[in-house]
Amino acid sequence: MTYEFKGSKILISDVEPLLDEQTFQWKLKSVSPERQEKAVRYKFPKGRALSLGAALALDELLQQRGLREYEQHYLSGPHGKPSLADHPDIHFSLSHTSHFVACAVADIEIGIDIQHLVNANEALMRRVLSDEEFEGVMLKEGKPRQELFARLWALKESYLKAVGTGITDDFPAFSLENDTPRLINRPGSFSFYEFDFPDGKGALCSLDKGIKG
């Protein structure tokens, strides 16, 4: 699945084929040594498949810019946000959930997140949602509740990835106006793009009034 929003390219991939060990080993050779090392460090096949799948998705999008992932070296920000050492003008973001990976590439700072629909308990929801968001989610039942929770989680995490703080930040400390969506109590100008994938919700956040076209 591919999406494009004002110059930002998004790719969603199913990594189930990479659960096959022969396929995994074959595809592993096509990514950078750094991503190879990261993938094989995972103990279980699913983690290995998700890690490699993210690198392959990045490679596919970089090819559209005349680059290859296996040629890249990475830098890490203060909170772990990765960047391309030799191409600071190209920004990317990765996410995974269930057996899907997401990758986005753009010319400005971005963050992407995808969330599978789950029956979240109250403890999990309160770790992610503000009091106002929690109340809104609890007004719904069944799948609509799952969809709203996944949507809000993806939107909020995409923002935190875009600004580079990720999960080190305090999720309940800020809120989203549900319909826009628009951030409350956070300075700056942002734009969001929302998308669906099988049994899940995704969001892209750009630290700008709009993503470059």
Distance CA 157, CA 28 (A): 28
132-158: burial string, b at 16+ Cβ within 10 Å, e else: ebbebbeeeeeeebbbbbbbbbbbbbb
Q: From residue 44, how far is each of 21, 39, 40 by CA, in Å? A: 11, 10, 9
Q: Look at 124 and 7; give whichever has higher pLDDT.
A: 124
User: Does the pLDDT at position 109 exceed 60?
Assistant: yes
Q: What average pLDDT does the chain have?
A: 91
Question: Cis omega before residue 45 (within 30°)?
Answer: no
Instruction: Check residue 146 and give its pLDDT.
Output: 97
Instruction: Check residue 64 and give its pLDDT.
Output: 96
- What is the end-to-end Cα distance of the chain in Å, rounded? 20
96-130: burial string, b at 16+ Cβ within 10 Å, e else: bbbbbbbbbbbebbbbbbbbbbeebeeeebeebbb
- The packing angle between helices 131-138 and 142-163, to 10°, is 150
Mean pLDDT across the stretch 16-32? 98
Domains and CATH numbers, the chain: 2-108 (3.90.470.20), 113-206 (3.90.470.20)
